[in-house]
Amino acid sequence: MSHEIWTEKYRPQQFNEIVGQKKIIQRVESFVKENNLPHLLFSGPAGVGKTTLSLVIAKSLYGENWRQNFLELNASDNRGIDVVRNEIKNFARTKSIANIEYKTIFLDECDALTKEAQQALRRTMENYARTCRFILSCNFPSKIIDPIKSRCSICKFTPLKKEDIEKMIDRLAQKENLTINNEAKETLYDSTEGDVRKLINILQSCAATTKEITEQHIKEITQQGNTKDIQELLLLTKNKDFINARKKLSQIMLYQGLTGLDIIKAIIKELNMYDVAEEAKLTIIERCGETEFRISEGSDEYIQMEALIASIIKCS
């Protein structure tokens, strides 16, 4: 199931069909019903409905003419001041051809805009407010300058809750004739962390091989560590058996194909069940953070993971 098919076949056309973010949807829907849309700033993690809601706004406002009155740009691709001065300004200054007196510009990932481009965008939003409305979307609102924030109605999106993810799973399973058991749903929620985009990718990968999706299929696709293996690794560290703990680490990394970062995440998840003092757990989490940073900076992954195992043994 490609993203193009998802876009055309399943994207919601009505506000009440969007899963999650109820308070935001109610507020935005009231703006659309009154035909009085302010500048909007959508902030939140990826895959929680920011782009989908923007498209629903456009289709609700303009109907069949939404493509002529709606401009979608990705600021991470066009992040310079010239894009604001030329493409955005030229679209904003022209009048809408629909019954609504203003056009709409959707600027995705606007936290990637340079400071100079944001200053130019601020003036454009102010000068053409009568003929154009802006919907800005970002992951990190702290990177947006205050003058832009003050001109927008801010909507803070959150990762989808478990019941919302399960609704999406059931909807996709029905459309694609998939069978997904409860254990698989739990694993999907843990794997996606409220990100619907990631959910679709995982289900697409699983559905390519089987229509009956189980917990094991999802773990294989997402390269999650086997819980029993991680628990066994932690038990070896608790018993201060460094040689066998290192062998177990090698098996997990070589035969299961997990990266050091995957194992670190799995260790932190299993840490609550780890029978050591709370103070030791704090030290272990601190060591995990240091190791994650070193690996991300380019250090040898296996050596760093061995060092982490040694640190955990010292803390136990």
Domain boundary among 174, 200, 222: 222
How many other C-beta atoms can be found within 10 angstroms of the C-beta atom of residue 100? 18
As a whole number of angstroms, the distance between CA 153 and CA 133 comes to: 12
Please say if the pLDDT value at position 13 is more than 60: no
Q: Are residues 31 and 104 in the same domain?
A: yes
The residue segments making up the domain with residue 192 are 162-222
How many other C-beta atoms can be found within 10 angstroms of the C-beta atom of residue 219? 17
Q: Are residues 236 and 307 in the same domain?
A: yes
Query: What would the mean pLDDT of 25-45 be, rounded to a whole number?
Result: 90
Instruction: Count up the domains in the chain and report the number.
Output: 3
Whichever domain contains 243, its CATH number is 1.20.272.10
Q: Are residues 7 and 136 in the same domain?
A: yes
Q: Are residues 216 and 235 in the same domain?
A: no
Poorest-pLDDT segment among 23-27, 79-83, 102-106 = 79-83
Q: By the 8 A CB rule, do 149 and 36 touch?
A: no
133-191 per-position pLDDT tens digit: 999 999 888 999 999 999 999 999 988 888 888 888 888 888 888 888 888 888 888 88
Q: Are residues 9 and 119 in the same domain?
A: yes
In sequence order, what E strands does the chain have?
A: 40-43, 70-74, 103-108, 132-138, 153-156, 179-180, 212-213
As a whole number of angstroms, the distance between CA 84 and CA 70 comes to: 16
Poorest-pLDDT segment among 46-55, 74-83, 116-125, 269-278 = 74-83
Q: Are residues 144 and 22 in the same domain?
A: yes
pLDDT score of 225: 56
Angle between helices 301-315 and 260-270 (to 10 degrees): 20
Query: What would the mean pLDDT of 216-229 be, rounded to a whole number?
Result: 74
Poorest-pLDDT segment among 45-54, 56-65, 269-278, 301-310 = 269-278
As a whole number of angstroms, the distance between CA 81 and CA 115 comes to: 9
As a whole number of angstroms, the distance between CA 113 and CA 257 comes to: 37
Domain boundary among 156, 176, 192: 156
pLDDT score of 273: 77
Q: Are residues 80 and 213 in the same domain?
A: no
What is the dihedral sign for C-alpha 269, 275, 278, 279?
negative
Domain boundary among 156, 187, 208: 156
Please say if the pLDDT value at position 98 is more than 80: no
Please say if the pLDDT value at position 293 is more than 90: yes
Instruction: Give me the chain's average pLDDT, please.
Output: 84
pLDDT score of 5: 38
Q: Are residues 168 and 250 in the same domain?
A: no
Q: Are residues 8 and 149 in the same domain?
A: yes
Please say if the pLDDT value at position 40 is more than 90: yes
Q: Are residues 244 and 212 in the same domain?
A: no
What is the rounded radius of gyration, in angstroms, for the C-alpha atoms of the chain? 24
Query: What would the mean pLDDT of 62-74 be, rounded to a whole number?
Result: 86
pLDDT score of 106: 92
As a whole number of angstroms, the distance between CA 233 and CA 12 comes to: 45
Query: What would the mean pLDDT of 257-279 be, rounded to a whole number?
Result: 83
Whichever domain contains 68, its CATH number is 3.40.50.300
Please say if the pLDDT value at position 71 is more than 70: yes
Please, where are the H alpha helices in 98-214?
115-127, 146-150, 162-176, 182-192, 196-207
pLDDT score of 134: 92
Q: Which residue has tokens 């694993």?
A: 187
As a whole number of angstroms, the distance between CA 309 and CA 288 comes to: 10
Please say if the pLDDT value at position 9 is more than 70: no
pLDDT score of 136: 93
Pairing of strands 179-180, 40-43: unpaired
What is the biggest distance separating any 2 CA atoms in the chain, rounded to whole angstroms?
Answer: 74
Q: 219 by DSSP, 3-state: which?
A: helix
Whichever domain contains 210, its CATH number is 1.10.8.60
In this prediction, residue 211 has a pLDDT band, given cuts at 50, 70 and 90, of: confident
Poorest-pLDDT segment among 56-60, 70-74, 140-144, 273-277 = 273-277
As a whole number of angstroms, the distance between CA 112 and CA 118 comes to: 10
Q: Are residues 287 and 246 in the same domain?
A: yes
Q: Are residues 101 and 125 in the same domain?
A: yes
pLDDT score of 66: 87
